[in-house]
A and B are shown apart, each in its own frame.
Chain A
Amino acid sequence: DQQVKQNSPSLSVQEGRISILNCDYTNSMFDYFLWYKKYPAEGPTFLISISSIKDKNEDGRFTVFLNKSAKHLSLHIVPSQPGDSAVYFCAASAQGAQKLVFGQGTRLTINP
């Protein structure tokens, strides 16, 4: 039972354009969502998070949108840069538990 799903294994975007990564969840108890960026054989790097009491959070080039009714969140990167090429993971936690449930990841490639 995969509670957090990233249905796109890969995404290719031209440099300077917008990258949109999507994530769906099934567990309505999730109330905190995070996005991480990861390179092979390294630990995930925290990018941005959002609480279920909000529907949008921005940090520089990164914006996360949360649609609770659809149980869907998305990460927007504008403008996309070559250094953004990595695997992006969506993760969720419930009620303060220090336990993350991860999606399978989306490999983002930014083309010059």
Chain B
Amino acid sequence: KAGVTQTPRYLIKTRGQQVTLSCSPISGHRSVSWYQQTPGQGLQFLFEYFSETQRNKGNFPGRFSGRQFSNSRSEMNVSTLELGDSALYLCASSLPTGGSGNTIYFGEGSWLTVV
């Protein structure tokens, strides 16, 4: 069974540009969430999508957005890139079952460098 797949794995962008990252969840998983990892802030939750609807959102500015497609694939977009957006962006997926106890599985991440 394939895991969570993220593309691209590495990318370099210039300040002010925008970037789109893609994620394919584990087959059958309907919830997709995104996280940002930086050395200073650790792993932080960005947002979560289920059935094409954003259900949860972390404390990030509106430049960070996402969407989910009918096949559960997801994309996240960061507009007007800033140097501080350089980070490892992680996509995760889970079933979920509706109650507590849903294991969340992560992809390998997309490493974004803003110059």
Identify the A interface with B (CB < 8 A): 31-32, 34, 36, 41-46, 49, 51-52, 89, 91, 93, 95-105
Contact = CB atoms under 8 A, between A and B. Distances in A.
Contact of A45 (B31, B58, B106): B106
B100 A93 contact: yes
Which of A34, A93, A95, A101: most chain B Cβ within 10 A?
A93
Nearest to A45: B106
Interface residues of B, number: 32
A56 to B, nearest CB: 15
B94 A49 contact: no
The 5 closest A-B pairs by CB, nearest first: A43-B106, A102-B43, A98-B31, A99-B56, A32-B100
Interface in B83-115: 88, 90, 92, 94, 96, 98-109, 111
A49 B33 contact: no
B42 interface: yes
A99 B102 CA distance: 10
Contacts of B88: 41
Contacts of B56: 97-99
Given A43-B90, A103-B42, A105-B42, 12 more contacts: A32-B101, A41-B109, A42-B109, A43-B92, A44-B43, A45-B106, A49-B103, A91-B43, A97-B55, A98-B33, A100-B33, A100-B35
A100 B45 contact: yes
